[in-house]
Amino acid sequence: MKSSVKNNGDKSGKTSSDRFAIYAAVVVLVFFGIVTYFIYQSRMPGKNDAELSYVELKQTIVNDQGMVARLAVTVQVNNGDEGWLSDNEEQLNAQFKKELTSIDLSSLRTKEGFVELQDELKRRFNLVFKTDKIQAVMVTEILLQDQR
């Protein structure tokens, strides 16, 4: 009889230690789950730390005396101005096409000409729309082809 009592005592001790191991594993898994969630939230691609908004204008093709260029630009504004940006997107597209007719396409072959185009578009857009909301105009696509 003594041996059977001893076995029951061992079984209850094993059961409580098995439960402790399960509880400890659950706590560790929950902890790692919470840590993973916060790491994911801090690196979410939708998070905009710079507080900027963008709109890409329609791709435009220009033919200037045998030199053909295909350009697309993105306009950048501060987060509070995204409403203005979406309201004026169509006018910005029209102005972009108009501005491209007055540039020298061969100047886009140099880095200086490229940067000058971006700065000039920003200046002209702000001037035409009588605002200072446009922070930058970035060329996102360019293809130059000389057909002479």
Any idea where the domains of the chain sit in the sequence?
1-47, 52-146
According to the model, what pLDDT value does residue 26 have? 92
Average pLDDT over residues 49-75: 82
Domain 52-146 - what CATH class? alpha beta
According to the model, what pLDDT value does residue 29 have? 93
Average pLDDT over residues 5-29: 73
Whole-model pTM over 0.85 = no
> Who contacts 101 (Cβ-Cβ below 8 Å, separation ≥6)?
62
Q: Are strands 52-56 and 60-64 parallel, antiparallel or unpaired?
A: unpaired
Q: Which two tokens stand for residue 82?
A: 């995204």
The answer, yes or no, to whether residue 6 has pLDDT greater than 70, is no
Q: Which residues of 3-13 are buried (b: 16+ CB within 10 A; e: fewer)?
A: eeeeeeeeeee
According to the model, what pLDDT value does residue 19 have? 86
Q: Can you tell me whether residue 45 is helix, strand or coil?
A: coil
The model's confidence at residue 65, banded by pLDDT at 50, 70 and 90, is: confident
According to the model, what pLDDT value does residue 1 have? 46
